[in-house]
Amino acid sequence: MDTGDTTWILFAIALVLFMHVPGLALFYGGLVSERNVVSTMMHSFVSLLIVSVVWVLWGYSLSYGTDIGGFIGGLNYLGFKGIGEEAALGTLTIPHYSFAMLQVVYAAITVAIISGGIAGRISFSAWVIFAVLWPTFVYAPMAHWVWGGGWLFQMGELDFAGGTVVHILSGVSALVAALIIGPRQGYLDYEHRPHNIVLFLFGAAALWFGWFGFNGGSALASGGITSLVFVTTHVAGAAAGIGWLLIEWKFRKRPTLIGTATGAIAGLVAITPGAGYVSIPSALVIGLIAAPVCYFSINFLKFHLRYDDTLDAFGVHGMAGIWGAIATGVFASKEVNSDGNNGLLYGNPEQLFHQVNGVAAAVILAATGTFVILKIISLFIPLRVSKEEELIGLDVSFHEEPAYHSEIQPVD
């Protein structure tokens, strides 16, 4: 057991929690209309609560329990049974407690990301049930396939911190949910503007800050690889932010704060699967290419196909996750991490094949699982709020909690 490694992982857990709330909550909350700020933040916050309990009761065991046929973990860790101060998984230098808790916060923020695709119209009851079922039947199997000793792990697919497990799963699931639930009222009739860019930017900054824990925590130690991850994470985000700024300046004749910050987040997503496997120059390239991949996905693909991914969860997380996973198969180098494999540029084209398999598996699992889960939920309760509730805004119509009070309200 190493106290330095343990201290770093505990701090990384706290960073990811900060990334979730307030980070993602403010990022999403600032982008929606003034009528749906509270409901959007509730989706992020409640997902943390629900998934944390689900993960303790059965989610962690399904992901990291004894492998069953390469597809799912056994039930030996139900209720965190058998998890204690001993070295995690028998080989790491951190307590099992710490490793298991790190996986809790990864799972929770993955679910929260999905809410960005359906903000402002999904019923809260449906969201609560979804937050129980989705990590059980979609996230846990994928986590086992990639990180828990499952078939993708055995094949050799590389996903350092969650390109397939977190970002492709959440992005594709958000798109499928948006298609099933349908667009917002008047989606194509008028412009939907963010209500508070200041909140959005603070959320983006908190996400960037927390991303050092998200990616760096996946090193599971506090050594040289963690330091590499800090650098690759930062430069990819910076490169993508610059890339988006230049593209927007070219095509819209003016750079915007929302666009530049969104570009940076896209770069952070793209580097996640390869953060500990690629060199710093490669991270710059990965981040730079993430900008046009996501920019044109949001501004052209979404526009022409006319789907309503409210906060571009698919356009940013899904598309950047796909690019990042494939890029890992191109740029991975054993010179920076001997525990990984070389990619295409270093003489191993087979790694690219493994990465494409991982992408395909994540897309199929996310699309199929989300479709089935939402259809089952819809058999019992409505997935969507009423037209009247949506037009009033969910903050008032459901939560009775407007985000802002412009005047003193009389006491009933």
d(CA 10, CA 181): 38
- According to the model, what pLDDT value does residue 91 have? 77
Query: What is each CA distance from 204 to 39, 167, 275, 289, 329, in whole angstroms?
Result: 19, 16, 19, 20, 28
- According to the model, what pLDDT value does residue 411 have? 60
Helix axes 197-217, 96-114, angle to 10 degrees: 140
Query: What is each CA distance from 211 to 84, 233, 236, 277, in whole angstroms?
Result: 27, 8, 12, 16
Helix axes 124-134, 37-54, angle to 10 degrees: 30
Tally of residues, the chain: 412
Q: Which residues lie below 8 Å from residue 376, measured CB to CB, with a gap of 6+?
A: 133
Backbone angles phi, psi at 125, to 5 degrees: -60, -45
Give this prediction's pTM: 0.95
pLDDT digits (tens, 9 = 90+) for 281-310: 999 999 999 999 999 999 888 888 889 999
- According to the model, what pLDDT value does residue 408 have? 58
DSSP state of 311: T
Is the domain covering 3-397 a CATH 1.10.3430.10 domain? yes
The answer to whether the Cα torsion of 284, 288, 289, 290 is positive or negative is positive
Backbone angles phi, psi at 86, to 5 degrees: -70, 165
User: What is the CB neighbour count within 10 angstroms for residue 127?
Assistant: 22
Q: Which secondary structure element, helix H or strand E, spans residue 72, and what is its range?
A: strand 72-73
Q: Where are the alpha helices (DSSP H) in 182-223?
A: 197-217
pLDDT along the chain (412 residues), means of 10: 94 98 96 95 97 98 97 97 88 92 98 96 97 98 97 97 97 97 83 90 98 97 95 98 97 95 98 98 98 94 88 97 98 92 96 98 98 98 96 93 75 58
pLDDT digits (tens, 9 = 90+) for 136-156: 999 999 999 999 999 999 999
Backbone angles phi, psi at 95, to 5 degrees: -65, 150
Instruction: Write down the mean pLDDT value for the chain.
Output: 95
∠ at Cα 375 (374, 381), nearest 5°?
80
Residue 287 in tokens: 């981040």
d(CA 266, CA 229): 16
- According to the model, what pLDDT value does residue 410 have? 59
